[in-house]
Structure 1
Amino acid sequence: MGRELWADVRLRAAWARGDWGALLREYRRAAGGLTQVELERLTGLPQPHISAIESGRRQVKTAEVQARIVRALEVPAELTGVAERSAGEWAPSADLAGRLAHAHATGRVDLRTADRIGEVLAKHRRDEDAASGTPLWPVVQSQLDTVTRLLPDTSGDTADRLLLLAAEHAHWLSWVAWTEQRHGSARSWLDLAHGWAIDGGHSDMASWVLRVRSYYTLKLGDPVRALRTAEAARGASGLSPAAASAATQQVAVAAAALGERDRARRLADEALALALRVPDEADRPGWLYFLTESRARLHAATVAYSCRHWGAAADGFREALPGLEGFPRDHAHYAARLADAEQRS
């Protein structure tokens, strides 16, 4: 049972903080309300000691007790290096940047660990939508280390699959760094993500990374380069409808910032039509899970807002906002845009 529980975001965050009391509490919660007495049977620690650890009255200091807890709770191998880093280490490490990112050996690698890491990253994405991803930063870095260490022993399709997973992790780290105003580190992570996506032949991910880079550039006040980068994202060959929609919408926003309003409107319509071709999440790349019809219509309204078409923007935001239930930060952002558009219209 233990290893299956480690997809739980709150449990992994407690491990990342090195908070042993929270770790035991979150483990019991994730296990469906495991009692302290039941945890005693797993760990061999007396129930009063477990109670004291959870309440903060007793500290876990000895390596022996720590190891006993790690074994009993079946902490995944990819998390064992978490304690060595913190969310203050924003840029990619020299070791990671210099690590081989391509395969050179034949043979088989057990991909169960990678599969589990991929599932966990999907949960991290959704958790970051509702709250800060900073507490999970060292967890995701440790997961990325595990993925990239598998690469030199793989080849062919297996290596390509791992490169995509590595790129997804680097993109996630980039986005969290960006939200923390670490702009240089955010770009460095994107560079790694783009290189890995290209090496693995994953055009959707390579396009998405360029789309995000265009977004960063536009936010930093350079619409000319933002448009150029977004056009490169849109021009990639073999894009899925969802990836093409995301890239096209970014071109539209950048074009609007440069006063190309007619072009922006045409592209917004194209982006919406592309998104509506893939209404089911299973038909979209994992990192575009959020591109629902409501989100696509909000993107179109964003272009109208950028073009200063206040009435159309307000109508679009108003119509699509109910679809953002479960995304509190995004809902607040678009609600503010709606209020501003209504005031200006």
Structure 2
Amino acid sequence: MGDSAPDLWSHPQLIAAVTAEDWGTVLRTYRRLTGLSQTKLGERIGLVQPDVSAIERGHRRVTSVEVRQRIVTGLDIPADLVRVRAEAPAAPVAGLVLPGPGPDDDLLTRVTSVVESEHRVDAPTLDWLDRLLAEHRRAEDEIGSRPLVDLMRQQLRTVVNLYASARGPLADRVVRLAAEHAQFLAWMAQDQGQTAAALAWYDRSHEWALEAGDANMAATTLSMKAHMAWSGGRGDRAVRLAEAARWSAPGASLGVQGMAAQMAARGHALNRDGDDATRLLDEAQSLIGRAAEHPEDEPVWMYFYGETWFTLQRGMAALHLRDWRAAVDHLTVGLAALPDDYRRDKTWYRTCLAHAYAGAGEAPQALAVALEAVPDASAIGRPHSWNELHTTAAVLLRRGAPEGQQLIAALRELD
């Protein structure tokens, strides 16, 4: 569907309409999101314009299996939306145990019945989905994003299916939950180098966050887009997006504001603007300290944001500024304090430490750290950690260090 938006079928109104087999709303919403006329839409599904109009206005019901199938095929509606689904929301990945007691049979029954019928969603259902998302975020730190993507897409569909039956404050909670799921999917797409998908999910998350009045998530999505710009070597864009995260969401928590300041500092460092980078890092550290005094005010997805993480960010800024010794010192201290269950992050910062050693001319140390990171970089750290190892090898080769060829050989074994 060349004229449709990315991930069109994750839109809550479309999903709710398909689930209810409200074909008039499906056609009307689809046209609004894609800009198609009734005539063009009719060509796509094999109906003339007056029939499309009649279905949209509720003057004609879709009772024919053939017409229903034409709509499903013509609009490329995903199969998992149109088939009858009786399953409850996905459980955490194998081996994980949720904190506290799991859902009782009554709760699981309610979750399933809410998705399948007109029953209204309740607070315990949303509490359970909150816990699932939190647990999957922690799992991703350890096992990486690839095993979780399909699971999280399914979980998001469960959340948006609840939208049609939620009322009042519960409806706001459903939209907020959808925004959090979309942000997590964006992060995982970004982690796998899928830039277009990541941007589409961040935009969707930002839209839902604004709808739910969630300043923290609205600011976070802009900060994460700044992170994407930084990853692509676009320092000016990283700064602009990080600054937008601050002024566009003045009600954001201190920690979320600190993350935005740190992202702006990272953009300045990429541009080799040491003064602004240092100023903003100092400001971010002050915000972090104040946030630590009231952790209850921070959103749940900021669990990683603390002194250890910030030390690693100072190391990253020093790396961009080519202050190799400072980069080595900060990254070494941060890695030593980072828990082992942050396997993906440990891999990434270890590859950055190897780069810093190479830049400092300490080839043996660079090779030792890089080789230690190679297995995990191959298993869970691609493409970012893998690319950083190639950068380290290139720095070593430019310096004429034989360790560069040794690292290249190790990488080729797993390429």
Post-superposition shift, 1:182? 2.0
Q: Runs of 5+ in structure 2 lacking a partner?
A: 1-86, 361-415
CA distance 1:220–1:340, change in 2 (3 Å) = closer
Q: CA deviation at 1:74?
A: 7.7
Deviations 1:293-313 (A, max 9, x none): 211221222222222222222
CA apart distance, 1:9: 1.9
- 1:26-105 aligned at under 5 Å gives the runs 77=112
SS in 1 for 2:162: helix
**TM-align CA RMSD:** 3.4
Matched, 1:262 2:275: yes
Change (3 A) 1:252 1:227: same
Once the 2 structures are TM-superposed, how far is the Cα of residue 159 of structure 1 from its aligned partner? 2.5
Deviation, structure 1 residue 276: 2.1
Taking structure 2 as the reference length, the TM-score comes to 0.57
Judge conservation of contact 2:220–2:256 (CA < 8 Å) in 1: yes
**Counterpart-to-counterpart distance in 1, 2:241 and 2:327:** 25
What is the rounded CA distance, in whole Å, between the counterparts of 1:344 and 1:139 in structure 2?
40
**Aligned residues of 1:6 and 1:75 also touching (Cα < 8 A):** no
Deviation of 1:119 (Å): 0.3
Structure 1 residue 252, shift from structure 2 partner: 0.5
Separation in 1, partners of 2:88, 2:112:
13
Query: Residue 315 of structure 1 aligns with which residue?
Result: 329
Question: Is residue 177–residue 183 contact of structure 1 (8 Å, CA) maintained in 2?
Answer: yes
Structure 1: stretches of 5+ with no match in the other structure: 13-25, 32-69, 82-106
Would you say how many aligned residue pairs link Structure 1 and Structure 2? 263
Q: In structure 2, what is the Cα distance between the partners aligned to 1:224 and 1:283?
A: 31
Name the structure 2 match of 1:204. 216
Is 2:372 aligned against 1:288? no
CA distance in 2, matches of 1:145, 1:116: 15
Q: Determine whether 1:115 maps to 2:150.
A: no
Distance 1:343 1:221, change over 3 A: closer
How far the C-alpha of 1:230 sits from its partner, in A, is 1.4
CA distance in 2, matches of 1:124, 1:112: 19
Decide which of 139, 156, 161 is 1:144's aligned counterpart.
Answer: 156
1:340 aligns with 2:358: no
TM-score for the superposition, normalised by structure 1 = 0.67
Matched ranges for 1:292-311 at <5 A: 292-311=306-325
Matched, 1:327 2:342: yes
The aligned residue for residue 261 of structure 2 is 248
* In 2, Cα distance between equivalents of 1:239 and 1:202: 8
Structure 1: distance between partners of 2:156 and 2:219: 21
Q: Conserved in 2, the CA contact under 8 Å of 1:265 and 1:304?
A: no
- Aligned partners of 2:124, 2:169: CA distance in 1, in Å? 15
User: 1:186 is matched with which residue: 175, 182, 198?
Assistant: 198
Work out the CA distance in 2 between the residues paired with 1:211 and 1:77. 35
Percent identity between the two aligned chains: 35
Question: Relative to 1, partners in 2 of residues 1:237 and 1:255: Cα closer, same or farther, differing over 3 Å?
Answer: same
TM-aligned CA deviation for residue 76 of structure 1: 6.3
Question: Within 1, Cα distance between the matches of 2:326 and 2:259?
Answer: 20
Quote the offset at 1:318 in angstroms.
1.9
Relative to structure 1, the CA distance from residue 5 to residue 142 in structure 2 (aligned partners, 3 Å threshold; closer, same or farther) is: closer
Asked whether 1:273 is paired with 2:286, we answer: yes
Query: For each residue in 1:222-264, what CA deviation from the matched residue of structure 2 results, as whole angstroms up to 9, or x when unmatched?
Result: 3222221111012221121110111111101111222321001
CA offset at residue 335 of structure 1? Answer: 2.2
User: What amino acid is aligned across from residue 112 of structure 2 in structure 1?
Assistant: A
In structure 2, distance between residues paired with 1:212 and 1:243 = 11
**C-alpha distance in structure 2 between counterparts of 1:125 and 1:189, whole Å:** 16
Deviation at 1:217, TM superposition (A): 2.1
CA deviations on 1:8-43 (whole Å, 9 max, x unpaired) are 42179xxxxxxxxxxxxx9xxxx9xxxxxxxxxxxx
Aligned letter for 1:226?
A: A
Deviations 1:128-179 (A, max 9, x none): 1111333332322222122223234444433322222111100111122222
Kindly indicate whether the alpha-carbon contact (under 8 Å) linking 1:314 and 1:338 is maintained by their aligned counterparts in 2. yes
CA distance in 2, matches of 1:183, 1:153: 33
Matches within 5 A, 1:210-221: 210-221=222-233
Aligned residue number for residue 170 of structure 1: 182
**8 Å contact 2:206–2:218 — kept in the other structure?**
yes
Give the CA deviation at 1:75.
Answer: 11
Counterpart-to-counterpart distance in 1, 2:325 and 2:264:
22
Q: Which residue does 1:23 correspond to in 2? A: none
Q: 1:10 aligns with which of 94, 100, 106?
A: 94
Distance 1:231 1:333 in 2: 25
- Which has the greater radius of gyration? 2
Residue deviations 1:89-129, cap 9 Å, x none?
Answer: xxxxxxxxxxxxxxxxxx97412222111101111111111
- Secondary structure at 2:291's aligned position in 1? coil
Cα distance per residue 1:272-318 (max 9 Å; x no partner)? 22112233754421111111221122122222222222222222122
Match of 1:135 among 139, 147, 160: 147
